[in-house]
Structure 1
Amino acid sequence: MSKKLTKNQQLFIDKTLEFTEKLYSEDDNKINEVYKNQKKNRDDILTEIAKILLSCKIVDSLLSLTLVERKILNLKLGNIIDDAIKSELKNESNIMKDILSDTCLEKYSTNNYIYSLGTNFKLTQVPDKVLDKIINGKIDSDLWSDRLWSNKNEIAKNLKVQVKKFLQGDINVNDIEKVIKTKYNTNATNTNRLVKTEITRVQSASNDYWAKEHNINQQLFMATLDSKTSDKCRGYDGQVFDIDDSSKPVPPLHPYCRSCLVNLPNKDWNPKQRYDNQNKQNINWTTYNEWKDNQES
């Protein structure tokens, strides 16, 4: 028979889910600074291309350059691309480190705050050594900084390929702006995917560290109730795991994963309610599959 949840325990779970969602949204402003820098660099490249269109010979909507002109312009545009990507790498590395550090500390602090609402205990903080370990944790053996470098390197290569084709007359002058913007859309998507996925990883790691420090023994896997949730997360939703279970699914389970592990006051407990992200309202407790069946009926 499950133990009755106290008012304070219910509050702990409700606030855990509330603050988890809040931490995701708070980082959007910082991510927007990344996009502003990317847009500036994209526009700088397009401005240089516009100068070429105004000063160079065009035949049948294609550039018609001499070999010497192509080499000079290719080198110039290549340097602009290199400078742009280097600035993005430095800027995004600093912003991501700040985001992940804030995420780790805020997740730990919110757990402290929520727990203190119903329990007297000594407040603790994340040691610098633990913070550094959490921030620099790996996904599939790769650090976030390695993934960022790889993404930027790939974008630089792709931009240079398109610029070379443009200068050779293989890309219509009317299409080059769209080509560059498409590549930069990919650039923004790569960054957004990396940041969102790493935020989930750091939240999970910070939450696990806090749970072990406060003798939490079980955690409940909770997916997001909407149509975007992956089959993998749907399958785990509502399941309870021992905190040291080696088979415990620890978010992120995939890019853009929004699932989380909720610390439980006792093993047999389920929340009274959860948030329906599809219909934007709180509903009585249900698993993902039960919720989905109700949506389809």
Structure 2
Amino acid sequence: MSRFTSVEARIDAAAHAVLDRLPAGGFYGALVEFLVFGLKQAWACLFGGAMLALIMATRLWWPTDAGLSRYDFLFLAAVAIQAAMLALRLEKPSEARVILIFHVVGTAMEVFKTYAGSWSYPEDSFFRIGAVPLFSGFMYAAVGSYLARVSRIFDMRYSGYPPLWATVLLCAAIYVNFFAHHFTVDIRYGLFAATALLYLTTVVHYRVFRFRHRMPLLLGFLLVSLFIWFAENIGTWSRAWIYPGQHDGWTPVSIQKLGSWYLLMIISFVLVTLVHRPRPVDKPSQPQRL
């Protein structure tokens, strides 16, 4: 239970009080696992979901004559959400550290990428570095927040996990390539291959409610990247940021960007493992609570 915050521990106890009355097997057992899986995923997305909701809401209803710019509101709201999550014990301090790391890493890349013309922010703001409004760093931080929370909430364990030093080298190579490919050869396909080889035999074991399930980690990477790609389409539709082909009107983000998010998500995952070190699978035992 130590992996839960005090609020999560109370939620867990209440859920067991209700759901433990249902059969463990058959249709009802599968339905409980499915329901809890969805609820846990939503809980893990708490920070990112709140930010995405605010981005959509301000796109629809932010007044054009407001004294505070939309981007500055999003930045202040992100800080307030982070403070509230810590104060209400919805998040652990270690997860806040992950958010801070990702804000720094993401903002540094944003400054370079906007200078290179990869994308832009069409609105004005006060809280910014160069052409980059500071709320943007929280969008990267949302990915780190999700990965840190989902790892803890699902009690993720791993078999066949590669050496940590090898994953850190891969992470560094991916990050450098995000900058270097503007000046030299883009080695992303080699990085895709290196990722596949490194994590080929890695399996993630996660507890939903009563039972542990398993999934190839590479498949998990792809599913998370696909979810981020969908979220980016929402972000560009809301004109929180836009790509060069979207100045005259919104068009879906190219599916090729899925590869970029896949590599960025690898960076996110590796940085999270520096805070929450990957744990091996326990020996088989009777099903335990969450």
Instruction: Identify whether the pair has TM-score above 0.5, normalized to the shorter chain.
Output: no
TM-score for both structures, normalised by structure 1: 0.29
Structure label with greater radius of gyration: 1
TM-score for both structures, normalised by structure 2: 0.30
